[in-house]
Structure 1
Amino acid sequence: MNLFGSFPTTTGDSVSSIYHHHNNPSLAVMTSVSSASASFLVTKHPLQRLHSPSRGLSAAVHLAGLSSFVWSFKLFAPPPTTPRNKEPTSLISKWCSIHENPNYASDSYGWHFMFLTVIGLTLATVTFAAGLLADITLSRRLFLIKNILTVCSAPLEVLISLLYWSLYLIDEALVVPEFARIPLHADVSFHAVPSVVMLVDLLLLSPPWTITVVPALALSNAIAFGYWFWIEKCYEHNQWYPYPIFELLSTPGRIGLFSLSATMMALNTMTLKWLYGRVNGFGTSEAPTSKPGDIMKDELHET
């Protein structure tokens, strides 16, 4: 399944080459394919706003986003409290990095990957790493990998931002465990910045998506219920959920929450696809008038 709009596959040179080799169908097809491949390597999609991969603005965006994601992994999490020390005594010890001064999740089954935020941040990091490598090497293969990952990571990050901040505004205790309270700038880095930079990459540096509703629903349900099974597995070992709201819900309630989340993620996918069209254009709505292989069919009819 092709998730992205096709790049231009014929140019004036390729068309003239096809007719020039009218008496040799095989050579005509080879010439057309060669010309199309060359065009693909040097041009961007007509609807893509800015050039990417490139060592200019595209590389700067991916480097900035990747730096933010990596910084987030070292962002501030309170160290575990002890009976003798209910509160860290100094500012330095109060806000220490997850890696250098771990909290309870660090010693638990699943580590910090129990948190959907960390899973989304990891996927966003891999996506932007592929994008930056594509910019540095000008590799279309890495660019394609980045775009495939974006179809998953961008709607997921938007979902994380929507769910987190809406529940946070209702009651912070629904989504923030006591041992994982962090300052506002760290909160924004985890739960807002990734979705913003993913949107910038999608709207300015990526080709349009062609994913439809059914595949979007299938992908979002796989992620939502895959995560549910994962946290239930972690609960069997740890006897606590990563988000307090899961403790408050019964099993049917959690099924409802994950079903709603899957639907929201699919809706995010289609909304982002629509937004891309509003920003960059929707292309032509006309149906194609020819298909690959039509030239060969014409040759067979004439002979």
Structure 2
Amino acid sequence: MLPAATEWILAMTEQTAAASSLKSWALVGPGAVGLYYGGLLAADGHPVHVLARSDAAALKAQGILISRVHPKTGQLIDETAVRPASIAQTASRIGPVDTVIIAAKATVNERLIDSVKELVRPQHTTILTLQNGMGNAEFYASHFPQNPVLSGLCFVCVNRVAPGVVENYHPGRVEVGSLGDRWPEPAQAAVRIFEAAGVKTQYAPSLDAALWRKLCWNVPFNGLSIAGGAITCDQILADRGLKARARALMEEVRAAAAEAGHRIDDHFLEGQFEVTEKMGAYQPSSLIDFLGQRPVEVDTIWGEPLRRGQALGLAMPELSKLYAEIQAAVAAR
């Protein structure tokens, strides 16, 4: 058994090495979020290798196109076209990299493991999940216990409108933290890289707190867009009953965060409504999946937060009701 001081020095050495080696990147999941952030990193000069299957041909032909669009008028503001370092249909064609971005839906996490193994070098590669809800970082850490696992919480409005094409309606920001707050150096290095690529990014010293904050928007607006009858964000805000329900859901999320030791103030909750006003007729990602007959991230966005809240001693009746409604709506498609 090593002395405590020696263990601390080794841990710091590993973190410094990980933080200084975020050079080559692999993107797993070229959907809206993956295309947007992967494209911005590539535009900033980072070698981004994209693992793509159905979209591979389009990405090879045209690269990634990022369009900034006014959320209310639909007017095109500007476009950025970029070609990633490579497009591959199998992870073995990419091989191990310094950083793996997981931007696929949480519903396919299990199916991704074999591919991610081809991209990860033990004790070296940093894994960065850009996914909705809770439990994703823990999932990847269980499969890659020797590697730093980070999560990026993306407060952004983006839609993939065609293979390789993503529209951005509100740039928002990203918060990056590490699982169990064990890897601050790689997380802060990722923040600096995203900032340099033009993304408003901040370090989350407590990943758990950041996850609860993100759920203050995801739980009500992703959820009510489905439970309210396949409606957009502006329709939720225009309906007094749904808007009140959104606030009640936020309050339950805030209460769970408080029980977990994280304070969320009134100003933050009010800000969720203010930023949603700017989105116009925005379709949240869960609604797009629902309408497209694709799997919806029911468990990570609503189920896992509900279980964690109840484990903390809270009943969370509004979230329980919404969770049941979404399960029923998905089953009835």
| Same fold? TM cut 0.5 | no
> Shorter chain as normaliser: what TM range?
under 0.3
Instruction: From the two aligned structures, give the one with the greater strand fraction.
Output: 2
Bigger Rg, which one = 1
Greater helix proportion: 1
The normalised TM-score by structure 2 is 0.25
Higher relative contact order (Cα pairs below 8 Å, separated by 6+ residues):
1
